[in-house]
Amino acid sequence: MDMNQNNIEAIVRQVLAGMSGAPSAPSSNGELPKTARVAMLTEKEHYEIKEFPLPSIGDDEILVKVEGCGICGTDAHEFKRDPFGLIPVVLGHEGTGKIVKMGKNVKFDSAGKALALGDKVVTCMIFKDNPEITMFDLNKQNVGGADVYGLLPDDDIHFNGWFADYLVIRGGSTVFNVSDLDLYSRILIEPCAVLIHAVERAKTTGILRFNSRVAVQGCGPIGLICIAILRTMGIMHITAIDGNQQRLDFARELGATETVNFTEHTGIEALTNAVERSFGGHGADFAFQCTGSPAAHANIYKFIRNGGGLCELGFFINGGNATINPHFDLCSKEITLVGSWVYTLRDYATTFDFLRSAKRIGLPMEKLITDTFRLEDINEAHRTNLAMTGLKIAIINQ
């Protein structure tokens, strides 16, 4: 009998799951198990796999069998320092899975699309305490103040985050049917929505146009997604700036036309000259600052032409102060600056169309997910994420 290593590992896991005291794996025969696992952060830099009874589902709730979830920078901050004081907590908010049970009142998703057992879904935010936020909110209210699965304190439900076998979606939550998207695309929806929002914010300046020269500083997952979105918009003059040549090479695959490795240039003047050379001797019409570095923020003004624009989106938490000269960096150049944080519900829905468009024109978005781990290996997954040897790290339950 020809058995490869994956077959052997699957059999071993099945045997271990049947032993007394071993965690239960998700049922594969369509029947729901009585208990299921979560990866709970019980102390800094340490997850424990815990097993709890699956709760009953209310009339407005949905039970989702988790298929995968990306590890976000927010997860990394919580794993390393617990800045939000959530421990013990089940993290994971870049997740997706299959509906396996629905309350009788659940008929449609947040965009009005029908929901049924077996549909593949993602969640956005929980808005039961802020009903003014809707899909078509004319004020485009930022959803940053709402609750999110994966950042909820532990309670008697326990299945509060996507780093688990199952997730319980409560009434009042946003949920979207994305059954037409593949698993990796679904895992990338949440981080892509962050960049859709940033680009929409940039467009409010009236400076970002089809023929704009655009600089993107920082080629982690956020910067790379930014480049891909700009490319799907038809923008053809994109310079990526980073210190990692491998990431710069991938930036070209996602649509960058030029790259600048800042490690090859000494001093801000030399770096500015390199960026301008990439644009044929011109400053950038618009720039996106996608790092969490205050020094990088201070530098990027130098790359932008007089009358240009800047979108700052790299600071999802307090990363410290940046030193700029308001006269030379802002006033005399008349730079239009916008900040961006999280997204609106409308941006979330727009993201689905972006991912379809990116696939249609051949952008290899799936290559952003460089490393995958099983739920029981989540500590190793987070250490890999902190080591920054890959791009997007994901937990896959399939």
Identity of the residue numbered 17: A
Would the CATH topology of 5-179+364-396 be identical to that of 194-339? no
Looking at residue 315, its pLDDT comes to: 84
Residue 342: exposed, middle, or buried by beta-carbon count in 10 A (0-12, 13-18, 19+)? buried
Q: Is 339 helix (H, G, I), strand (E, B) or coil?
A: strand
Looking at residue 318, its pLDDT comes to: 80
User: For the chain (length 398 residues), average pLDDT per consecutive 10?
Assistant: 43 39 43 96 97 96 98 92 92 97 96 96 78 60 78 95 97 93 97 96 96 97 97 97 97 98 97 98 98 94 98 86 95 96 88 96 97 98 95 93
Fold classified for 5-179+364-396: Quinone Oxidoreductase; Chain A, domain 1 (3.90.180)
Domain layout of the chain by residue ranges: 5-179+364-396, 194-339
Looking at residue 27, its pLDDT comes to: 42
Given strand 35-43, what is the order of strands in its sheet?
46-53, 35-43, 89-90
E strand segments, the chain: 35-43, 46-53, 62-70, 89-90, 94-102, 120-126, 166-169, 173-177, 213-217, 237-242, 258-261, 284-289, 304-312, 336-339, 369-373, 392-396
Closest residue by Cα to residue 65 from 154, 168, 186, 202: 168
Residue 264: exposed, middle, or buried by beta-carbon count in 10 A (0-12, 13-18, 19+)? exposed
Helix 378-387 / helix 73-81 crossing angle, nearest 10 deg: 110
Residue bearing tokens 């997954």: 381
d(CA 228, CA 188): 12
Task: Please count the residues of the chain.
Answer: 398
Residue bearing tokens 């480049």: 227
Which of these CATH numbers, 3.40.50.150, 3.40.50.410, 3.40.30.10, 3.40.50.720, describes 194-339? 3.40.50.720
Q: What are phi and psi of 38, to 5 degrees?
A: -130, 150
Q: What sign does the CA torsion over 42, 127, 120, 107 have?
A: positive
* Contact status, residue 205 vs residue 338, Cβ threshold 8 Å: yes
